[in-house]
Amino acid sequence: MPVRDSFSIRRPLDSPVGIAKDFVGSKIEEVSLAKLASSPTIFASVERDTLPIPSTRDREGYYGDRHFEYWLSGFSDYIQIREVYPAARLRGARLLDFGGATGRVARHFFVQEELAEVMVCDVNINNVAWVLEHLQGINAFKNSPIPSLPLPDNSFDLITAFSVFTHMNEYELAWLYELKRILKPGGLLCVTVHNDDTWRILPTTWVYNVLQKSKEFQAIYSANAPLKERHAFEYSSENVYNCNTFHPNSYIHRTWGRILTVLEIRPRFHSYQSGVLLGKEM
């Protein structure tokens, strides 16, 4: 009998807390998101988004009761993708948000752009259930921890994976091959990672406190030591989403570059995580 992880156990979903404009003007702690909230153009985007916002529990605790800050975090990541993927290419494109949780980022592509399809997959059955229940028009399914997706070859123009490969260990390369399979030739895969840039600023990040509980991390880390090797520091006994993984840029170029073309590595792309832009040749 297969091992059943906690991400496969259904539970009742909470009611949504409201929509984005209900929380405009509320407390924002993250400096970059506070700056984004003060932009004169943000209100038009807020008005367009009438999709509900999940409760704190239904978004895995992120941003506590700061609901507008949660919305802004997804909007910020959407803007980052817009900077590397021209609007002209987005029109009519198909997007997969791999590990997309309750649509934190995907909702913005659905609302703000004219895409042919927006799809979310996630290992957590409750995230998928929330998207299907509350984000009408966005398709979603639960994926297995084993690298296999029920999708045809060359299906998507754009694939995003925010904070997914940062928590992946033994199936990392197999997942890259699977995402390559469903990415269209000429398409873009955007993955966020903990890399050399993250390693250098680690004490300023919240993940540093989590890592302090790892004896392996304590033995390896020092503020002046560079990130020379790939490391996966486990923090739970789950069989999936159970570690914080660090990828040196040299490893990404050397190993990931065998699978897809490494176009660019952008520091601080998603908070303290860097963005790896990967292309599939025509």
Residue 60 in any domain: the answer is no
pLDDT, tens digit, 9 for 90 and up, residues 27-43 = 999 999 999 999 999 99
Predicted pLDDT at 120: 98
pLDDT, tens digit, 9 for 90 and up, residues 147-173 = 999 999 999 999 999 999 999 999 999
Residue 9 above 60 pLDDT?
yes
**pTM for the full predicted model:** 0.96
Calculate mean pLDDT across residues 120-136: 98
Which is more confidently placed, 4 or 51? 51
pLDDT-based confidence at residue 259 (cuts at 50, 70, 90): very high
pLDDT, tens digit, 9 for 90 and up, residues 61-98 = 999 999 999 999 999 999 999 999 988 899 999 999 99
Residue 43 in any domain: the answer is no
Predicted pLDDT at 4: 59
pLDDT-based confidence at residue 273 (cuts at 50, 70, 90): very high
**Above pLDDT 70, what percent of the chain?**
99
Residues with Cβ < 8 Å from 37, sequence gap 6 or more?
A: 24, 28, 68, 72
Residue 73 in any domain: the answer is no
Predicted pLDDT at 222: 81
Residue 69 in any domain: the answer is no
Predicted pLDDT at 237: 79
Residue 3 above 70 pLDDT?
no
Residue 55 in any domain: the answer is no
Q: Which residue has the tokens 């995580």?
A: 273
Predicted pLDDT at 234: 92
Predicted pLDDT at 7: 92
Residue 50 in any domain: the answer is no
Domain that holds residue 199: 144-282
- Count structural domains, the chain: 1
Residue 112 in any domain: the answer is no
In DSSP notation, 1-37 reads: -PPPPGGG---PPPPP-B-GGGGTTS---SHHHHHHH
pLDDT, tens digit, 9 for 90 and up, residues 172-225 = 999 999 999 999 999 999 999 999 999 999 999 999 999 998 989 999 998 788
**Above pLDDT 90, what percent of the chain?**
91
State the SS3 of 33-101.
Answer: HHHHHCCCCHHHHHHHCCCCECCCHHHCCCCCCCHHHHHHHHHHHHHHHHHHCCHHHHCCCEEEEECCC
**CATH number of the domain where residue 194 is located:** 3.40.50.150
Predicted pLDDT at 1: 39
Residue 19 above 80 pLDDT?
yes
Residue 269 in any domain: the answer is yes
Predicted pLDDT at 87: 84
Instruction: Pull the structure tokens for residue 281.
Output: 């040749």
Beta carbons within 10 angstroms of residue 258's beta carbon: 11
The answer to whether 202 and 221 have CB atoms below 8 angstroms apart is yes
Predicted pLDDT at 240: 81
**DSSP label of 252:** H
Q: What is the rounded CA–CA span in Å between residue 213 and residue 78?
A: 32
